[in-house]
A and B are shown apart, each in its own frame.
Chain A
Amino acid sequence: MSSSDSVSAPLSARPTGPPPRWVGLLQRIDPAAIIIAAATATLCFLVFYPLLWLFYGSFAYGELPLPEVFAQFWNLPGLDRAFQNTLWLVCGTLPLSFLFALPLVWITARTDTPLKGMIEIAAIMPFITPPLIGAVAWALLAAPRTGLLNVVAREVGSTAPVLNIYSMSGLIFVMSLYLSPYVFVTVQAVMQRMDASLEEASLISGASMAHTVRNIVVPLSMPALLSAGILVVTRSLEEFAIPGILGAPTGIYTITTYIYYQAISYVPPRYEVAALLASGLMALTAIFLGIQSRILGRDRRFTTVSGKGHPPRVIRLGRWRYATLAYALAYIGLTVALPSLVLVYAAFISEWGALPFPSNLSFGKLVSTFDPALSVRSGLINSLILAVSGASLATLLTLIIGYAINKGSPPVRNTLDFISAIPLTMPGPVIAVAVLWAYLREPIALYGTLWILLIAYITHYLPYGVRAMSSSFRQLSPDLEHAAAVCGAGRIAQVRQILLPLIRPGILAGWMLMFISMIRELSSSIFLFVPGTETTAVTMLELWQEARFSEVAILSLTLIFISVCVVMLVRWMSGAAYLSSHR
């Protein structure tokens, strides 16, 4: 036989005709497609509606002709100073944050320094304590007159304050401390995964260690270094809390604080100026992020640094390992230990700035802080409402978008990826100004409600959620849902019974990330709150301005406490999920 009879029967013998067209059409409309379409529409609305208003507000707002807006803009008092300050801040933070982080990277990735595991965890602790709390703690430590370190110095006999945190160098110092974990995490990931044989090959070819570092290690970690640098630049550009706490009181404004103090809370508010500045900030961020994604996307050469191979050699330091340990401990002291201690101290003291402290201790503030007369209690409730509902809604939305990104055709995938990355270019103040323009007036007037904050939060943290969710989905082999489909499960059943249980840890982690970011949110809340809708971070800033240091410290500790509880809860839940799947 062979070929001829094995090939198919003639086409004319088709026994069943295809069903009418509408049957096919009905079969094509599945509920999953409707859900995805709705989520996509929501995403587009959240991203584009405020953006359109922001651009409209920057260039076409009717009340003043455009040239006049520009003229007014250039004549704004102090704007040039704000630009200069921002430039100094960025230029100072960039090298200093690397100076803090790179030795730590080397210590944890390549040396036999004791307590490496603990150092590694402590190095990313500043992620948990937000910059707001860091700034508060350092102000308590090193404010020229009342800072604890200066008080101690005076007791010891110094006549002038030793440290002044309310200065540009103070700003740079605190900013670098709180951005160095970004450098640490980015660079360390590469250093740890770098295949040791790459270095060994260089050494065997006769190159010295110094040559090897210069010619192999540095070039291979270049993308990570560049990308960490850009991260530091964009973060320090958009940071609000640190210049708000440490700079604003002495008139050192950066662009973000300038937008707030000189445009939005100015009387009367200069909304056009805010819009124009926000657009500029957004453009700047977009440029940096564009460069970063080009660096990361460009060179496949650098994928030699991945997974396989054996881990890098550990350098035996001998006696020097105590020196490296001392460095690591000093870093942890500056970022974690001192700030936490001063916050605890401030929480339990009745009168700030006085020593000796034992007689000064009291628990009174713990009670009085949460007095209903202060807005602390309502702020805390608002923050909890916003963080829980914001994180949950954002999880739901990003889960659907993440699914669509993984299952969609390449154009769908790229479009959704792009749209959901747009908020990355919008720092908190930019989002806030855009949202303010969009929801201040008809047709959607939400100003003065918690809704406007909720919308700003969800928009702000969308990109992080989408990334977490879509990478969770990506880790699953499509075979797993194909197997379910073959067994007779429809799309909804596949997702509910197979995919969701499998990515539960990823969902929980994404929710946690967004919750922790939202509960401490300051940089957009400060623009959007009205009396009654203030959040905890806003309350803290207000109390700070009233010099109620103990209350601020207590709130800081409360925020850290809530964050730690949520982290532990989520870890326990993922652990339970893990156990239930791997009993």
Chain B
Amino acid sequence: MPSVRLDGLRKQFGNVVAIDGVSIEFRDGEMASVLGPSGCGKTTTLNVIAGFTDPDEGLIHFGEHLVADAARGFAVPPNRRNLGMVFQSYALWPHLSVAENVAYGLKMRNVSRVARDEAVKRSLRRVKLEHCGDRFPHELSGGQQQRIALARAIAYSPQILLFDEPLSNLDAQLRDEMRLELKELHREIGVTAIYVTHDQAEAMSLSARIVVMWAGKILQSGSPRELYEEPADVRVAQFLGRTNVFEARLVDKQSTLAQVSIDGVDEPLRCRVSATTLPNTSGTLSVRPEAVSVRPAGTGGVSGRVSSTMYLGNLSQLQIRLDFGKTIEVLELNRRTWTIGDAVSVTFDPEQCFFISRGREIQQATP
């Protein structure tokens, strides 16, 4: 299976820069997500990889093969790139039966009739819809249609699979089921898969690696755990789950453990930090809501008052207004009941606090 490598990709529509210097390699056989808010350039990136849009600058390689080189005006048309793609809208052809839809790519490859029927049957079986071949797309439910779209994309065994928010039109429960199935399918066929989504839960549960895009640039890429626990950028921290951020200064650092000071809190707080962060830098301290422990006032830590409570069943969500003026969000297992106005002391679990230095973003953008 080939890798997909983008070098210095740029694409502009009128005055809008959709992709602003993206370089990244999706490794062979890997399932990677491109995650970002709408309008961040993730779909354009996918369209450039597929060949629907030609880049203004940059190179694209599939493994050893050059696929697009903007400087020379060279671009392999999409139908010669040997890709499979699953669309958000499913894009099943309504005038063709399910089997004809799935067989289309094989027909384009001049596969003999017998082999074609065999391959159609195999991929329909893979998505558990082997009995639906004679039906038409409109006779199937949304979830079934999406499976057919998947079967169509894998029928001719492409080496690279592209997914453009394929689950966003399904309801929540179906989405969870399909996630598991997609993951399993990927393990079976082992293609290089690129999955574009704006849903962080989807990206985290599906992929081994997540690439976070923002305003046409890559902010960070890494495993879901790395992104969650060691965000390289405040925006990454805020986009993947909720977090409380404080302006902070790094005062002491030993390898990946550090002490930071924040305004309004007298003693330094302990947290984790990236090994490459320079000492004495200023930046942001990210404190996940579940990293905060709340105790009755006077037990040490930062003091404040409960300003709102929300009972969520397994958890409670609290807003606590700290005495120096900042309001933080807390997720707590329901060990104790708080009411609005209670005076409390909060402490932060150093393992779940991460200092993001301001210098690091620059370091990131120019690899």
Contact = CB atoms under 8 A, between A and B. Distances in A.
Given A16-B65, A27-B77, A483 B87 contact: yes
A568 to B, nearest CB: 23
A488 B156 contact: yes
A21 B72 CA distance: 7
B239 interface: no
Interface string B69-97: 10011111111111111011101111100
A501 to B, nearest CB: 5
B136 interface: yes
A19 B72 CA distance: 10
Interface in B109-164: 109, 136, 138, 149, 152-153, 156, 162
B221 A583 contact: no
Interface stretch (A6-14, A201-209, A523-531): A6-14
B150 to A, nearest CB: 12
B5 A485 contact: no
A18 interface: yes
A412 to B, nearest CB: 15
A330 B138 CA distance: 45
A485 B94 CA distance: 16
Contact of A489 (B51, B79, B89): B79
B91 A482 contact: yes
Contacts of A30: 77
Contacts of A485: 50-52, 77-79
B252 interface: no
B12 interface: no
A359 interface: no
Nearest to B366: A7
A4 B367 contact: yes
Contacts, number: 140
Interface in B252-289: 274
A7 B218 CA distance: 9
Interface string A496-517: 0110011000000000000000
B25 A8 contact: yes
B52 A482 contact: yes
A9 B94 contact: no
Contact of A2 (B52, B72, B230): B230
A2 B223 CA distance: 7
Given A488-B109, A582-B136, A483 B93 contact: yes
The main secondary structure of chain B at its interface with chain A is mixed
A1 interface: yes
Chain B CB within 10 Å — which of A4, A27, A485 has the most? Answer: A485
B59 A14 contact: yes
Interface string B16-34: 0000000111000000000
Contacts of A498: 93
Sorting the interface of chain B by its residue count into under 10, 10 to 19, 20 to 34 or 35 or more gives: 35 or more
Contacts of A502: 93-95
A18 B79 contact: no
B24 A8 contact: yes
A17 interface: yes
B66 A1 contact: no
Interface string A11-40: 100111111010010011010000000000
B364 A3 contact: yes
Given A2-B220, A27-B77, A8 B6 contact: yes
A8 B52 contact: no
A156 interface: no
A78 interface: no
Interface in A459-488: 477-480, 482-488
Contacts of B304: none
B246 interface: no
B222 A487 contact: no
B24 A7 contact: yes
A153 to B, nearest CB: 59
Contacts of A478: 52
Contacts of A4: 367
Contacts of A18: 66, 69, 72, 74
B91 A6 contact: no
Contact of B221 (A6, A28, A480, A493): A6
Between B66, B69, B79, B105, the greatest number of chain A beta carbons within 10 A of the residue's beta carbon is seen for: B79
Contacts of B81: 486
Contacts of A21: 72
B108 interface: yes
B109 A483 contact: no
Contact of A486 (B23, B79, B95): B79
Contacts of A27: 76-77
A14 B61 contact: yes
Given A2-B232, A479-B91, A581 B220 contact: no
A269 interface: no
A580 interface: yes
B104 A489 contact: yes
Interface in A537-583: 580-583
Given A9-B5, A483-B93, A493 B108 contact: yes
B64 interface: yes
A3 B50 CA distance: 25
A501 B24 contact: no
Given A24-B72, A502-B93, A7 B138 contact: no
Contacts of B156: 487-488
A183 to B, nearest CB: 36
Nearest to B109: A488
Contact of B25 (A9, A15, A580): A9
Contact of A1 (B61, B72, B76, B226): B226
Interface in B32-59: 50-52, 59
A490 interface: yes
B245 to A, nearest CB: 19
Given A3-B220, A3-B221, A3-B364, A581 B78 contact: no
Contacts of A501: 95
Given A479-B91, A482-B52, A487 B104 contact: yes
Nearest to B63: A15
A40 B223 CA distance: 52
Contacts of A493: 108
A155 B233 CA distance: 98
Contacts of A487: 79, 104-105, 108, 152, 156
A581 B367 contact: no
A544 to B, nearest CB: 48
B7 interface: yes
Contacts of B94: 502, 581-582
B91 A483 contact: yes
B93 A488 contact: no
Contacts of A483: 85, 87, 91-93, 149, 152
A6 B209 contact: yes
A126 to B, nearest CB: 35
Contacts of B95: 501-502, 580-581
Shortest beta-carbon contacts, A-B, top 3: A488-B108, A487-B105, A479-B91
26 contacts: A1-B226, A2-B230, A2-B232, A3-B221, A6-B25, A6-B209, A7-B218, A8-B6, A8-B7, A8-B23, A15-B61, A16-B66, A17-B66, A30-B77, A480-B93, A482-B50, A482-B91, A483-B91, A483-B93, A484-B79, A486-B105, A487-B108, A488-B80, A502-B93, A580-B95, A582-B94
Given A2-B230, A485-B79, 10 more contacts: A24-B72, A28-B73, A30-B77, A479-B88, A482-B87, A484-B79, A486-B83, A486-B85, A486-B162, A488-B79
